Amino acid sequence: MRVNNSFLATQERKALLWLAARTPSAVSPDHLTLLGLVGAALVMAGFAACRLSPWFMSLAILGLFLNWLGDSLDGTLARHRKIERPDFGYFLDHSCDLISQTFIFVGLGLSPYFTVFSGLLALSMYLLMTSFTYLKVLILKTHHLSYYGMGATELRLLVAAWSFFALWYGPGLIDASFMGLRRIDITIFALWSLVFLAFMWKVWSDIRRFRPILDK
């Protein structure tokens, strides 16, 4: 069972169903999974190249779009054509997801709009939430695609919005320091701590909620 309660879930679902019905027959779900992976690689390359020219931001944004298209449409297309592969498809799709998100966060950290420290902190939280999600799939047979209204699509939009804001603001946003530490790193660490506390609360509440079911 797939559960998606993200802010954009309803609109996204309609768009994906529309695209799936119009995808050429020569395009397979595996092609789309590969497209998503290529898109993530373009994000990393584009963000890193922004140190040479801000115009490479367009490559990173294109990569985010392709990553969304491939990652979101592959499963929808498989279900639309009734060619799902529950085990291999799940393994392939989510293995590529882990690689893609690593590309995206590392690329953001290598860009002039973030720091490597903050990028790796954000990546660690993503991997933590992903691990928890996969545990719930194994135990509860339910795949939660979002938490607190945030899913992969909203995350991509946040990455793009932050990059545009940092580009508009200028290097002072990243270089500003407090007591020898970059303010952005302090801010991201504070946000990471809050999210980590919310994550621990989610784990505890789910344990209490599902223990009667799993103990049977």
CB 44 within 8 A of CB 104: yes
Length of the chain as a residue count: 216
**What pLDDT, on the 0 to 100 scale, is given for residue 216?**
62
**CA proximity to 187, closest of 169, 198, 167, 173:** 173
How far is the C-alpha of 126 from the C-alpha of 109, rounded, in Å? 14
Note the pLDDT tens digit of each residue in 82-101. Answer: 999 888 988 999 999 999 99
Residue 208 pLDDT grade (very low, low, confident, very high; cuts 50, 70, 90): confident
**What pLDDT, on the 0 to 100 scale, is given for residue 52?**
95
* Residue corresponding to tokens 């945030």: 150
Q: Give strand pairing partners of 151.
A: 146
**What pLDDT, on the 0 to 100 scale, is given for residue 54?**
94
- Between 62 and 139, whose confidence is greater? 62
Average pLDDT of the segment spanning 23-34: 96
The percent of residues above 70 in pLDDT, for the chain, comes to: 98
- DSSP H/E element including 7: none
CB 3 within 8 A of CB 149: no
User: Tokens representing 65?
Assistant: 């779009």
How far is the C-alpha of 127 from the C-alpha of 116, rounded, in Å? 16
Average pLDDT of the segment spanning 114-121: 94
For the chain, what is the mean pLDDT?
Answer: 91
Dmax of the chain from CA atoms? 60
**CA proximity to 183, closest of 125, 115, 132:** 115
Measured CA distances, 146 to 4, 35, 85, 130 (Å): 6, 22, 22, 10
Q: How far is CA 195 from the centre of its chain?
A: 15
How far is the C-alpha of 203 from the C-alpha of 196, rounded, in Å? 10
Helix 57-81 and helix 9-21, axial crossing angle in degrees, nearest 10: 70
Domain layout of the chain by residue ranges: 2-214
**What pLDDT, on the 0 to 100 scale, is given for residue 147?**
82
Asked if the model's pLDDT at residue 16 lies above 90, the reply is yes
Statement: 2-214 belongs to CATH 3.30.930.10 = no
Asked if the model's pLDDT at residue 28 lies above 90, the reply is yes
Residue 70 pLDDT grade (very low, low, confident, very high; cuts 50, 70, 90): very high
* Residue corresponding to tokens 């497209």: 35
Asked if the model's pLDDT at residue 183 lies above 80, the reply is yes
Note the pLDDT tens digit of each residue in 122-142. Answer: 999 999 989 988 888 888 788
Residue 69 pLDDT grade (very low, low, confident, very high; cuts 50, 70, 90): very high
**What pLDDT, on the 0 to 100 scale, is given for residue 214?**
66
Hey, how many other C-beta atoms are within 10 angstroms of the C-beta on 207? 10
**What pLDDT, on the 0 to 100 scale, is given for residue 53?**
95
Asked if the model's pLDDT at residue 198 lies above 90, the reply is no
Note the pLDDT tens digit of each residue in 149-166. Answer: 889 999 999 999 999 999
